[in-house]
Structure 1
Amino acid sequence: MTENEKRILEALERLPAEQQKQLVDYAEFLVGRAGGEPGAGEADAAAPGEPESPRSVEKDPEEGPVQAIKRLRHTYPMLERSKLLDETTSIMAKRYLQDKPESEVIEELEEVFERHYRGYLRQFEEE
């Protein structure tokens, strides 16, 4: 076991259950940010000149912010992950650094993805 693994486990053991969940969620978020989901978020081939429609992905009532990001990436695969990265990172930082409620974070994430999708659609209107 590496020194970092030991430190993380020690920190995890000292936290209450809710904060342990937050730490795991944040670690999963960082894995996703580093490209831990091969192929997720990549655009499927749409008909040339036509925008791709969002996929129907059911929202789990128990989902946290990390799961919401995964759901939104699957809902909007046509969006470029790099364009969403700064905003999603900032929102997640608020969750963990300012202890913002999960429901507010998820709502904000949904708004960001929807706004980016509207921008994606505008590209097709201009053609």
Structure 2
Amino acid sequence: MRDSKRLLSIFRSLSEARQQGLLEYAEFLAGKEGADIAAAPPSEPLLILRPEKENVVKAIQRLMQTYPMLERNRVFHEASAQMTRHLVHGVAAVDAIDELERIFARNYQEHLDALKQDPLSS
């Protein structure tokens, strides 16, 4: 209860834009909580086009769907860092999303490289 009051106090002290960013980040974290996939993920990235206008949270969700074969916890740390750069340090959403695209592509390449070294690990 004490934490929720503190969170509400912090939320109210933020500008409207930062409040929106905090809500988007909370939605991202909430989505991560229930992200258990029962079926085996595809081995190839799915073709999900990047919308012309997209916020950072939606981009992370899209990229998680595009690359379901990646270990979420491994990518989450780097994705969270981009969210922080955007929300706290004022990096433009498009720049943070461009970096997210590179992060996911790099992680996918590392995934492929690991499979080549140990094809039975998939």
TM-score range, shorter chain: 0.7 to 0.9
Deviation at 1:20, TM superposition (A): 2.1
Residue 59 of structure 2 is matched in structure 1 by 68
Greater CA drift, 64-73 or 3-12 = 3-12
Deviation at 1:22, TM superposition (A): 1.0
Long gaps (5+) in structure 1: 47-51
- CA, structure 1 residues 9+102, in 2 after alignment: closer, same or farther (shift >3 Å)? same
Whether the 8 Å contact between 1:55 and 1:74 is mirrored in structure 2 is yes
Alignment of 1:1-127 (within 5 A): 2-32=1-31, 35-39=32-36, 44=40, 52-126=43-117, 127=119
Q: Which amino acid aligns with 2:60?
A: I
Query: Which has the higher relative contact order, 1 or 2, with Cα contacts under 8 A spaced 6 or more apart?
Result: 1
Whether the 8 Å contact between 1:65 and 1:92 is mirrored in structure 2 is yes
Task: Work out the number of aligned pairs and report it.
Answer: 118
Q: Which amino acid aligns with 2:71?
A: E
Q: Which amino acid aligns with 1:25?
A: E
Whether the 8 Å contact between 1:69 and 1:109 is mirrored in structure 2 is yes
Q: Which amino acid aligns with 2:72?
A: R
Deviation at 1:30, TM superposition (A): 2.8
4+ aligned runs moved over 6 Å, structure 1: none
Whether the 8 Å contact between 1:43 and 1:78 is mirrored in structure 2 is no
- CA, structure 1 residues 83+11, in 2 after alignment: closer, same or farther (shift >3 Å)? closer
Q: CA RMSD in A?
A: 2.4
Q: Which has the higher helix share?
A: 2
Deviation by residue 1:71-121 (Cα, 9 ceiling, x = unmatched): 001000000012112212222222222111111111111110000001111
- CA, structure 1 residues 104+45, in 2 after alignment: closer, same or farther (shift >3 Å)? closer
Counterpart secondary structure, 1:70: helix
Long gaps (5+) in structure 2: none
